[in-house]
């Protein structure tokens, strides 16, 4: 099964990375979060309400919206932080990518692990630049803000297409589609993946590991 894939290419300063990636991923996740399912019977359930929060960026002239969920925000932040630290580290040559992957699980027989089938991947590819002076930095701050506006518009456009999203399953199989670990929201199952060009060897290792895993899973 082919997953939909979107790639955003962004160029910015190192300190803007966290907020730019958070803007894109939170906008996506906001659309991909449902209210908590509360089952009253086997087939009956009620859906909770999703709250939203405005987040002002510090290094970009921008405000984005995310779900009002501390645990979700924390999870996203942790993933983006470790990516951006690696991207901005000395070994890095200033480019890398991070992806948000939505997947659904498929039950398999005992000796093999559960299969994860991605159905939507959002990738942000980043190139870091350094500015010579404050004017340039200010200009770039505005440029990045315009760029993010554009991306958010693009995301909403995609979200309102009638594309595939997994169907809501019965209560017993809810975990195969949704991440039910959050107390306040219920996003589709998602994970983060990142690589930076400076750390080619470990990412290669990851790829090999993934290949072996996938072969075994089959």
Partner 1 sequence: MSAQRLNAAERDLEKFIKYLVLKSTQVVVQSRLGEKMQTQCNPLAGSDWFNLAVQDHPEVLEETKRALFLKNGESILQRLPLCVEISLKTTEGDQMVLEVWSLDLLQPSNGATPAANDAKGETNGLNGEGQTLKAAHAIYNRMGIMLKSLISLTRTTPAYKLSRRQCPDSYGIFYRIYVDRPQVHTLGEGHKHVKIGQLNTIVGSLVMSVAYRTKLTISPTTAQAESNTIMLKSDHFRPATDITAPNTQQQQQNGTGLAKKLGMGAFNPALGSGDRRCIDIEKPLRPGAFADMGKLKQYTEDDFVLPETPPFEWLLKGRGSVESLNRLDNNVTASALSLNNNNNNNHHANNFNHSSGQSSNLNNNSNGFKSFEKNSGSSISPIKSLLIPATVTAAYRHHSEPTLQPPPDDDNLLKELHFPFASPTSHVNDLAKFYRECYHAPPLRGLNELQAEISTITSVSSATNGSGAACGAMAAAAAVATSAADASAMDDLSRQLEQFETSLEDYDKLVSQFGLTGSSSTGSRSSGGLQMSN
Residue ranges in contact with partner 1 by CB under 8 A: 27, 30-31, 34-36, 38, 46-54, 56, 61-65, 67-69, 148-149, 152-153, 155-157, 159-164, 183-185
- Give the shortest CB-128-to-partner 1 separation in angstroms: 24
CA distances from 72 to 2, 55, 182 (A): 27, 14, 7
CB of 55 to partner 1, least distance (A): 8
Closest approach, Cβ 141 to partner 1, in A, equals 12
Residue with smaller CB distance to partner 1, 87 or 148: 148
Nearer to partner 1, 91 or 157 (CB): 157
Tell me which residue of 112, 105, 116, 117 sits closest to 216, measured CA to CA: 112
Supply the minimum distance, in Å, between the C-beta of residue 197 and partner 1. Answer: 30
Nearest to 95 by CA among 68, 120, 126, 124: 126
Strands 95-106 and 190-196: antiparallel
**Nearby residues of 120 by Cβ (< 8 Å), 6 or more positions away:** 3, 4, 5, 101, 102, 165
Whose Cβ is closer to partner 1: residue 36's or residue 86's? 36
Element (H, E) at 147: helix 134-159
* Residues whose CB is less than 8 angstroms from the CB of residue 42 and which lie 6 or more positions away in sequence, other chains included: 170, 171
The C-alpha atoms of residue 202 and residue 181 are separated, in whole angstroms, by: 29
Cβ 150 to partner 1, closest distance in Å?
8
CB nearer to partner 1: give 53 or 197: 53
> Please, which residue, 142 or 214, has the CB nearer to partner 1?
142
């Amino acid at each position: 099964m082919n997953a939909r894939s979107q790639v955003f290419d962004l160029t910015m300063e190192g300190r803007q990375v966290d907020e730019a990636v958070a803007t894109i991923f939170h906008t996506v996740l906001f659309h991909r979060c449902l209210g908590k399912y509360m089952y009253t019977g086997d087939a009956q359930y009620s859906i909770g309400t999703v709250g939203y929060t405005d987040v002002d960026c510090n290094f970009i002239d921008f405000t984005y919206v995310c779900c009002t969920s501390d645990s979700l925000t924390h999870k996203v932040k942790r993933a983006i932080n470790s990516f951006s630290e690696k991207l901005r580290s000395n070994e890095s040559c200033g480019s890398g990518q991070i992806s948000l992957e939505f997947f659904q699980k498929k039950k398999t027989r005992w000796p093999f692990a559960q299969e994860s089938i991605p159905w939507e991947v959002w990738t942000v590819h980043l190139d870091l630049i350094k500015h010579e002076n404050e004017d340039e930095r200010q200009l770039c701050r505005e440029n990045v803000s315009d760029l993010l506006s554009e991306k958010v518009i693009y995301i909403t456009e995609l979200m309102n297409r009638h594309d595939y999203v997994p169907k809501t399953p019965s209560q017993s199989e809810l975990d195969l589609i949704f991440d039910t670990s959050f107390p306040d929201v219920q996003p589709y199952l998602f994970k983060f993946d990142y690589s930076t060009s400076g750390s080619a060897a470990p990412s290669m290792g990851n790829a090999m590991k993934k290949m072996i895993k996938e072969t075994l899973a089959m």
